[in-house]
Structure formats: C-alpha cells, structure tokens
Amino acid sequence: MKIIQSLFTAAAVIATLTASSQCRIFVKNQCSEAMQGYIMSENFNGAKMMPGDEAEMTTTFYGGVDYRLMICHHPMLAGAEFQLIDSDNEVLYDNKNHDTSTIFDFRLAGTDELTLKLKITGNGNSDINPQGCVAILLGRKESSSPVSSALY
C-alpha cells in the first residue's frame, strides 16, 4: 500500500511541475514582449485556472516607481477581471472600468502594500469550462528606482 501511495504522490508532483513549466513557457512566448522596457519581478505568479476561479496576491509597491501590471491568460479563457486595492481597502484600479484591459501602468506617490484580486471570467453559453495558464506579471520601468526615504 505504501508503494502505491508513493507512486501516486510522485505522479502528482510530476504533473504539478509539468503544468508549472508549461505555464512558464506560455508566458515567455506569449506575454514577455508586452513587458519590454520593464524589469520583471523574479517571482513567478502563474497557475492553471478556469472560468470562475479567483486568486489574490498582496505585495509592496514603492513610491516614485513606474510599474506595469499585466494579467496574461491563455486565449481559450474568455477573460480576466482584476482590481488593485490599497491598504485602506480603496479600489485604485478596476479593469472592468477600462474595457477589461489586461495591462495597467501606474506610479504611487508613497510606498504601500497593494492587493490584487483576480477573477477568470467565463462563457455562460458553454457547458465546457476550459482550463488555461494565467499569470500575474509585474515589472518596474528600467529607469525607475525606489525613492530614497530621505525624500519623504
């Protein structure tokens, strides 16, 4: 019985690593061009998702830095809705108010911890729920650098 459990665990790990690897390759081939001129975050925030799935990510953004946030998703998914919310729970950006754009360029006056709330939208006319790679890409403009604390 332990051998079967070990084999099942090994298969699950391999499947997860393969899915993650495929997602990274998709992002590199399909989305990296839109991030030219920006230094990408070293963290990879991607997963296979399907319509109705939601994700949330919180990270610190520094004041005086030009950022690009991009939601990259496989074309078989209908779309992605996202909001960027500050530490006071105020919605700074909602892509539903901007034709569900997948790219948002911004700069904060001061450093803040922001939460990204993401939801994969679906096609209500289909009985099939496609699954595809969705990645949150974050970069700072190459000429931007965090503002010294002496400037605050």
CA dist 103 and 106 (Å) reads 10
State mean pLDDT over 76-80.
89
Highest-confidence segment of 40-49, 85-94, 121-130, 140-149: 85-94
Exposed, middle or buried, 41 (CB in 10 Å: 0-12/13-18/19+)?
Answer: middle
Across 1-5, 13-17, 57-61, 141-145, least confident range? 13-17
- The answer to whether 63 and 144 have CB atoms below 8 angstroms apart is no
State mean pLDDT over 43-68.
94
72: CB partners within 8 A, 6+ apart: 26, 27, 30, 31, 34, 46, 102, 133, 134, 135, 137
Per-residue tokens: 114: 């922001």
Closest CA to 107 of 139, 152, 71, 151: 139
Q: Is the pTM of this model over 0.95?
A: no
8-55 pLDDT per residue, tens: 444 433 334 344 578 888 888 888 899 999 998 888 899 999 999 999
Q: Which residue type sits at 7?
A: L
pLDDT band at 2 (very low <50, low <70, confident <90, very high): low
